Amino acid sequence: MDVERQMQNQESQNHSKTGKPQLVVISAPSGAGKTTICKILAERNPDFRISISATTRPPRKTETDGVDYFFISEEEFLKRVEAGEFLEYENVHGHYYGTLRKNVESLLKQGFTVLFDIDVNGAIKIKKQFPEAILIFIRPPSLEELKKRLRERQTEDPQEIERRLQRLPEEYAKAVLFDYDIVNDDLMATVAQIEDIIRTHQRKEQDHVSN
């Protein structure tokens, strides 16, 4: 199925909306837990949708095209860059990843809160375009725990894990630009904390409109 058809599938599912749609960007070092957190947030909150990125990275065994990512060739990715289809894109760990403008605009228009699981540089680019976006940086409880999560995920070999860990200093340095900085120790406590942040922003905007 092509990217456009898959985007329509994501949009047409039923939902109910409970507040002003927000843009919520969740960034973290690889293995800290952001993908797991975003999936649980979207499962528990019918008014939340994850922005599905396009990537040139090959799919992992557990991943589905059009659900986890739109897996496309480098040629197609660069064509879409030329056509201005990305809100932002980055080369992360040696592969291209990008947020599709049309996808995000359509979800917002339908009233969904959009969750972005993207890298720190992508997060900063989103904030420049949407100053109201909520930027949340997720940390692992320790470096040892991060390594353990990466090993136990069993999706990258030791060399690729090392490559991902080399990006840590750049990622931690940019955490200061985020609105929130959270340690993902207990998974469900982290999810609840993020839900609380989003609902608080929604309430504040609601109060602002009614005053």
56 is a site residue for ligand 5GP (CB under 6 A): no
- Looking at the Cβ atoms of 22 and 53, the one nearer to ligand 5GP is 53
Q: Does 90 bind ligand 5GP (CB under 6 A)?
A: yes
Contact 126, 18 (CB under 8 A): no
The DSSP element (H or E) to which 11 belongs, if any, is helix 3-12
53 counts as binding ligand 5GP under rule CB under 6 A? yes
What residues contact 174, with CB distance under 8 A and at least 6 apart? 120, 121, 123, 124
Decide: is 33 part of the binding site for ligand 5GP (CB under 6 A). Answer: no
CA distance 33 to 141: 11
Q: For ligand 5GP, which residue of 7, 23, 24, 30 counts as binding (CB under 6 A)? A: 30
Closest separation between CB of residue 89 and ligand ADP, Å? 18
Residues found near ligand ADP in the complex (CB under 6 A): 28, 30-36, 149, 152-153, 184, 187
Residue 176 CB, shortest distance to ligand 5GP, in Å, is: 18
In the three-class reduction of DSSP (H, G, I as helix; E, B as strand; rest coil), residue 162 is classed as helix
DSSP, res 67: T
- Residues 52 and 66: their CA atoms lie apart, in Å, by 7
The site partner of 153 among ligand 5GP, ligand ADP, none (C-beta below 5 to 8 Å per kind) is: ligand ADP
Query: What's the Cα-to-Cα distance from 150 to each of 73, 88, 137, 183, 209, rounded to whole Å?
Result: 26, 26, 18, 16, 44
x/- track of binding to ligand 5GP for residues 113-142 (CB under 6 A):
----xxx-xx--------------------
What residues line the site for ligand 5GP (CB under 6 A)?
A: 30, 53, 57, 88-90, 92-93, 97-99, 117-119, 121-122
